[in-house]
Structures are given as C-alpha cells and as structure tokens.
Amino acid sequence: MNTDMKRRVFLKGSLAAGTVGVAVSAGLLAPQAVMAAWPKAEFEAKKMGDLGAASGDIKVKAPDIAENGAVVPITVSHNMKADSVAIYASANGTPLVAQFMGPGAQTQVSTRIKMGKTGDVIAVVKSGGKLHHAKKSVKVTIGGCGG
C-alpha cells in the first residue's frame, strides 16, 4: 500500500544510517513495532472490545470535570511490562483514542484527548498476553459564558 511504502522510507531516513539494523538486532526495536500497519479497524470500531481485568497497578489521571471537552489532559501510569497501552474514551463514537508501545510506554504517558460527552477514560495495558485496565470518569458539560 502506498502509505506503508512512504512510511518505511520515511522511518529509514529519519534514523541515523544503520541504526535501525543495530536496534533490531539488539532487540530494542521489534520489527512488528516499526512495520505494523495502522490498525484501521480498531480505530473505527464503535464498541470497545475486551478490557481485561481491573487492575490497581494502573492509574488514570484525568479531571473530574473537563474545562473543555475538546482538550482533556490525561496521564496513564502503571508498573507492568507493557506490550502496549491503549486509551479509550467510552462515550466517544469510536472509543479507541491512542495506542502506545515501546520503552516510553512502560511507566507513564500523557496526552490530551477529545471527549464528546461525559464518560470514562479507560487505559488498557497488554502485558504477558493478558489485558488489564483502569478507568476514570470525566464529566463534560456545556459552558455558560462563551463571549
């Protein structure tokens, strides 16, 4: 597919020559993580799949009341060995918001997400072949004072 071709070329160009090879052999850069196609079906799914068991080892930090539903800051932290950390907004039309992989996904990750209405921010950590999750409820309201 055209986009995949562009992306592979782009990745090779963006890292120092030979670094990709070194990183792969050192186990730091699993080929799947680099070359996996963007998971279209997952991002277009209208329902969340299996979330796995609730885990106290995962913390989801998000506001109680979002100042602006279009920009909700969230932080997910955990202490597992994560293959991936996925973030869902349960009340969004397509709940999957993001997936994070690699060394940077092992302790904490923060971003800002869109929430169409009041719902849960859910973090799903895939570890040791199993899924684990934690959630935080966020209220999204309409403001009264625009101007």
Partner 1 sequence: MKMTKYALAAVVAFSASSVAIADGHGNKKATDTSPAEDLAAYRAYFDKRHPDDGAGGKPDFSNGVYSILADARSQWENTEEFPPYEDMVAKGEALWNTKFANGKGYGSCFGDDPAQRKNYPMWDDKRKMVVTMELAINECREANGEKPLKYKKGDITRLTAYMAYESRGQKVDVQIPNDDALAAYNDGKSRFFARRGQLNFSCASCHVQNSGTRVRGDTLSMALGHGTGWPVYRQKWGDLGTLHRRLGGCMKQMRAKPYKAQGEELRNMEYFITHMSNGMEFNGPSSRK
Partner 2 sequence: MAKKSIKVRAKEKGGVVTVKALMNHPMETGLRKNKKTGKMFPAHYITEVTATIGGANALTANWAGGISKNPYLAFDAPGKKGDELTLSWTDNQGNSESATAKVK
Under the binding rule (CB under 8 A), the answer on residue 146 touching partner 2 is no
CB of 95 to partner 2, least distance (A): 8
Q: Which does 52 bind (CB under 5 to 8 A by kind): partner 1, partner 2, none?
A: none
CB of 53 to partner 2, least distance (A): 24
Q: How far is CA 131 from the centre of its chain?
A: 14
Cβ-contact 102, 85 below 8 angstroms: no
CB within 8 Å of 14: residues ≥ 6 apart = none
Burial class (CB in 10 A: 0-12, 13-18, 19+), 44: exposed
CA distance linking residue 88 with residue 34, whole number of Å: 23
Q: Which does 21 bind (CB under 5 to 8 A by kind): partner 1, partner 2, none?
A: none
Under the binding rule (CB under 8 A), the answer on residue 79 touching partner 2 is no
Residues in the site for partner 1, rule: CB under 8 A? Answer: 63-68, 71-73, 112, 141-147
Torsion of CA 68, 78, 50, 52, to 10 degrees: -140
Write each residue from 93 to 122 as x if it is in contact with partner 2 (CB under 8 A), else as -, in one continuous string.
Answer: xx-xxxxxxxxxxxxxxxxxxx--------
> Residues interacting with partner 2, by CB under 8 A?
2-3, 6-7, 10-11, 14-16, 19, 22-23, 26, 28-29, 33-34, 38-39, 43, 70-73, 75, 89, 92-94, 96-114
